[in-house]
Amino acid sequence: MLFSSIPFLYYFLPIVLVLYFLVPFRFKNLVLLVSSLFFYFYGEPIYVLLMLVSCLSAYVHGLLIDKFRGTKWAKVWMASSVVTSVLLLGFFKYSDFFIANINALFRSDLALLGIALPIGISFYTFQTLSYTIDVYRGDAKVQKSFIRLATYVALFPQLIAGPIVRYTTVEEDLTERKHSIDKFGEGVTRFTLGLGKKVLIANVLYEFCETFRASDDKSVVFYWLYAIAFSLHIYFDFSGYSDMAIGLGKVFGFRFLENFDYPYISKSVAEFWRRWHMSLGTWFRDYVYIPLGGNRVPKGRWLFNTLVVWLLTGFWHGAAWNFIVWGLYFAVFLVLEKFFLKKFFEKIPRVFSHIYVLLAVVISFVIFNAADMTQAISDIGGMFGVLEIPLWSKETAYYLSSYGLLFALSIFGATPLLKNAVLKLKEKKGACVVVDVLEPIVIVALLLVITACLVNGSFNPFLYFRF
């Protein structure tokens, strides 16, 4: 079930809200758990059992780690929890990838399993891992209520596409959380803005990308427009979903950490990754990079640590070589920045470092969105005039004029300019009153426009379902 769908917005969510706020606090987690299981069952009837197995594994391993704390068995049960989670993720997400590569390498003919990817498995697996590891480290108290732990793992606002919520972030909220009209209103506002980013911007940008793929009249400029459109699409699609998740969390009394912080204004690739998919970046930092030694090691070891983290980051996104190349692509830039580029860009105007980051990121998402590496190389070749295509064409001109305003609004929306302007207005007494009056009107109007688009059956894909 998509957040950006009529069944979710006007059937599922209102029913859940009514039930949630009618029952006493001691039953609120149960309402959320049952609702979340139904939400997942609606799209994945069979794989809801897999998610429950993951919850049960985390619950049992947490109890065993706590029971044997201070002994070698605590480490054994922690290792067992990691192996169990990784094996489940590996089997359902990567089996066919490994079989296909074994067949290619050894010229064998092993049959592919053809297993459908369970929605959200990469996200909820990382959440169960963070729970058991934090219990072992002593950073989190063991959760003795299965309902509370399962609510944390299955919580539908962040279940299928993040952000990756650490158990320590919501540990207190699971037992005592406060609700208020102000928090509810803030949550609804944040959710609606995220929904607008998804439906009114991301979906239309992806329509452009699909039009590009279907075109037989490509040009160099058309390739660049496609690359820019997809880079903007994936930002508005994923950050819009994160906004919706954070907003819904606030409605139900939970505090989820931010996942995006205007990454396209970055002045380095390292800064870009501090602003992009922040929950994933900090997860790999705390559970892979630092345990490997982080940056407090000799250069050779640091290089190894960096390559491992970014290989895993790419592979986490998908079971295909282009995702692995995508991850290692960023590793190369991070290494170059650490040893060479950082000092160079400090000596020249900032505009050049911005251009460098944007070029690096746009090209990276061409690799990311390709069906395979052959297509990725072809797309990059088209961008740089390697293919036998013209620089410009009438079709390119037509689509640029058709989507030009959307491109301009998307680029503007990917910066904090509008947000900063609203915050400055709120600092002024007179303007603050106007903003407070207009905000709910704008939100209601935005929701009506979004609803009209959804009722009209507009194109409504969601990229991160594949992860």
Distances (CA, A) of 386 to 65, 220, 228, 230, 396: 57, 9, 19, 21, 18
The whole-angstrom separation of Cα 358 and Cα 171 is: 38
Give catalytic status of residue 179 as yes or no. Answer: no
Q: What type of residue sits at position 390?
A: P
Distances (CA, A) of 387 to 370, 372, 378, 396: 17, 18, 8, 16
Please give the angle made by the CA atoms of 375, 380 and 381, to the nearest 5 degrees: 95
On the CB side of 427, CA atoms within 13 Å amount to 6
Q: Looking up tokens 């069906």, which residue turns up?
A: 371
The two tokens of residue 356 are 């460098």
Let me know: does 307 contact 397? Beta carbons within 8 Å: no
Closest among 255, 245, 211, 246 to 229, alpha carbons compared: 211
Let me know: does 227 contact 366? Beta carbons within 8 Å: yes
Let me know: does 325 contact 314? Beta carbons within 8 Å: yes
Closest among 263, 316, 330 to 287, alpha carbons compared: 316
- Give buried/exposed letters for 90-118 (b at 16+ CB in 10 A, else e): eebbeebbeeeeeeeeeeeeeeeeeeebb
The whole-angstrom separation of Cα 169 and Cα 151 is: 14
Distances (CA, A) of 463 to 203, 223, 343, 413, 460: 10, 20, 36, 20, 10
The whole-angstrom separation of Cα 388 and Cα 402 is: 25
Three-class SS state of 69: coil
Q: What are phi and psi of 101, to 5 degrees?
A: -75, -35
Please give the angle made by the CA atoms of 391, 397 and 398, to the nearest 5 degrees: 145
Closest among 354, 247, 280, 242 to 127, alpha carbons compared: 280
Catalytic one among 179, 233, 317, 354? 317
DSSP alpha helix (H) spans, 318-416: 321-336, 342-346, 350-369, 373-383, 394-413
* Active site members: 317
